[in-house]
Amino acid sequence: MAQEVFPGRYTAEPARDSVTVFLIGMRANRWWKIRSVAKVASAMPPMLRHLASDPGSGMLGFEQWLGRTTVLLSYWESPEHLRKFAADREAPHLEPWRRFMKELAGRGDVGVWHETYQVPADGIEAVYSGMPLFGLAKATSHVPIGPGTNTAKQRMGRAAVRNGKASDRAAAGA
């Protein structure tokens, strides 16, 4: 399935005060233990389907890369949305996590990891040139770069003003 490539330069414009960035993945430390690797890897697709089917979940979008070390980059409305999903007994996360902790954690066959970042919108700068919808622009808003957003310096910090909330620094004329 071919993706539409957008010629020219674009940026992401999240329409919120902050974005939660969640990175998660696994590493096949002992790739020859394919059953253990497959057991861990097979848990993620149901989670992603569940999140994609529930607009109230708070997940805005994601990108994924597969290999010996996998990486899933996802964007969320808030850390609270992420924690709510992780703790939801009805969601497809707790059971696979408990199974991993009981059967595989500490053995070293498969490693799992995650990192969470709460990023203020005025601390975000993004550019996409000749790309299909991707990353934060795909998860939020994909807009052409133009006057006022031509440089990284112009793009960084503009969110507070764009959202009608001029920062103290901008208000002070800095």
Tens digits of residue pLDDT in 71-115 = 999 999 999 999 999 999 999 898 989 999 999 888 999 999 999
Residue 102 lies in a domain: yes
Would residue 100 count as lying in a domain? Answer: yes
Q: How confident is the model at residue 157 (pLDDT cuts 50, 70, 90)?
A: confident
Rounded CA gap, 72 and 69, in Å? 10
- Closest alpha carbon to 10 in 158, 139, 132: 132
Give the separation between CA 133 and CA 10, rounded to whole angstroms: 10
Name 64's bridge partners. 72
Predicted TM-score (pTM) of this structure: 0.85
Q: Angle at Cα 95 formed by Cα 87 and Cα 42, nearest 5°?
A: 115
**Residue 60 maps to which CATH number?**
3.30.70.100
Distance in angstroms (rounded) separating the CA atoms of residues 23 and 62 = 10
Query: What is the rounded CA–CA span in Å between residue 77 and residue 58?
Result: 5
Does residue 99 form part of some domain? yes
Is residue 163 scored above 70 in pLDDT? no
Confidence of residue 170 (pLDDT cuts 50, 70, 90): very low
Most confident of 19-28, 34-43, 146-155: 19-28
Q: Share the mean pLDDT of the chain.
A: 88
**153 within a domain of the structure (yes/no):** no
Percent of the chain with pLDDT over 70: 90
Region 37-46 average pLDDT: 93
User: Is position 26 within any domain?
Assistant: yes
pLDDT of 174 > 80? The answer is: no
In a domain, 68, yes or no: yes
155 found inside a domain: no
Segments forming the whole domain that contains residue 63: 19-116
Number of domains observed in the structure of the chain: 1
Residue type at position 41: A
Closest CA to 73 of 8, 155, 137: 137
Q: Is residue 23 part of a domain?
A: yes
1 pLDDT band, cuts 50/70/90, is: low
pLDDT at 66 over 90: yes
